[in-house]
Amino acid sequence: MGLDDQIRNVADELEIRNLLARLAQLADDGELDEYIELFTEDGIWEGGAFGERRGHASILAGARERRATGTSGPGSNSRHVITTTAIHLNGDTATGRSVFHYYTNTQATPVLAILGVYEDQFRRTPSGWKLAHRVIFAPAPTGDATK
């Protein structure tokens, strides 16, 4: 692999890592119009206890539902934290596996409500890398996760 290929791989991985960070940040307190643009049009979000969503309209509806119920989003006192991410590039596609922590009660003493894994597939698009498929492996939340 030549230096140009190595530089491109580093740039691609950095873009994907930033995509993961933006997804978590926007889920917590960002604009959902910006959040949904991080997914491919035919994206799939398999959310464990939250079911499966396919395509922008369905994924956006799921995000709105989670906000309406106070599960996540502004005022929910929750936060997603992404850790130990491994990215594997393959041309214009990539896969990633990340451990995530979901905290509640972030206005006081944060409580780790869920510890799980994201298994992601990414696709390079004309406007950059996007999330094409996310599978969430985590136990169902117990108790009131909105505090």
**Sequence spans of domains, the chain:** 3-137
Half-sphere exposure of 64 (CA within 13 A, CB side): 9
> What is the tens place of the pLDDT at every residue in 25-79?
999 999 999 999 999 999 999 987 789 999 999 999 999 999 999 999 999 999 9
Q: What is residue 124's predicted lDDT score, i.e. its pLDDT?
A: 98
Q: Which amino acid is at 15?
A: E
Per-residue pLDDT of 98-129, as tens digits, reads 999 999 999 999 999 999 999 999 999 999 99
Contact 26, 35 (CB under 8 A): yes
Evaluate if pTM is beyond 0.85. yes
Q: How many residues does the chain have?
A: 147
Domain covering 3-137 assigned CATH 3.40.50.300 in the classification: no
Reduced to 3 states (helix: H, G, I; strand: E, B; else coil), residue 109 is coil
Residue type, position 11, single letter: A
**Strand, coil or helix: 68:** helix
Residue type, 108: A
> Which runs of E-coded beta strand occur in the chain?
39-46, 52-54, 79-90, 93-104, 111-125, 128-137
